[in-house]
Amino acid sequence: MTTARTATLARRTRETDIRGEIRLDGAGRADISTGLAFFDHLLTALARHSGIDLTLTCDGDLEIDDHHTIEDCSLVLGSLIDLALGERRGIARFGSAYAPLDEALARAVVDLSGRPCSVVLLGLVRPMIGAVACENIGHAVASLSTSLRAAIHLDVLRGDNDHHRAEAAFKALALAIRQAITLTGGDEIPSTKGTL
């Protein structure tokens, strides 16, 4: 279901059961429960710094590992934003931002082009942060890009602590998304093709 820049979505498979709700013009409120505390932490930062209100719950097959939960939650998040954007009329479309977290510095560039593409270079060294495999943090962004139908370039320029690197990346991504979804006051689709 979609109304003015809001959306709700349920997705159920043999691996995950997810329910989500989003309000693009929110206050950055988050109610997230995926069963993975560090992933909840990253998604909460994304909601807070993008100004998006996000409710997301997942019952996933964590007895196997974290992959399906992270991938499917990211697909649902991207779909929620995509649904809430509708035809993408009157939005800025592009967003870019830097975000530091102590010694870590991340850069994100987003284009709500309608074409999924992701380049994610986080430089994480540890195999895990909490119960989250570091390889799945980048995969989360790739999955988000796919269902959001957006080009996302996300890289961490420096940092010694993997927690800081990952969190800085999600904060930079949040700020870039916030810019890209901003309403410009017009009603045009921001593309020379006339569609996104």
Check whether 94 has a pLDDT greater than 70: yes
Number of Cβ atoms within 10 Å of the Cβ of 147: 20
Residue 110, judged by CB atoms within 10 A of its CB (0-12, 13-18, 19+), counts as buried
Residue 53 is predicted with a pLDDT of: 98
What mean pLDDT is predicted for residues 78-98? Answer: 97
As a whole number, the mean pLDDT across the chain is 97
Nearest to residue 105, comparing CAs of 42, 41, 168, 174?
168
Amino acid identity for residue 11 in this structure: R
| Structural domains of the chain, with CATH | 2-181 (3.30.230.40)
Q: Please check the confidence at residue 2 and state whether its pLDDT lies above 70.
A: no
Tens of pLDDT, residues 40-57: 999 999 999 999 999 999
In order of 43, 132, 169, 190, the CA distances from 140 in angstroms are 10, 11, 12, 27
Contact criterion met (CB below 8 Å) for 92 and 179: yes
Mean per-residue pLDDT, 178-192: 94
- Eight-class DSSP state of 107: E
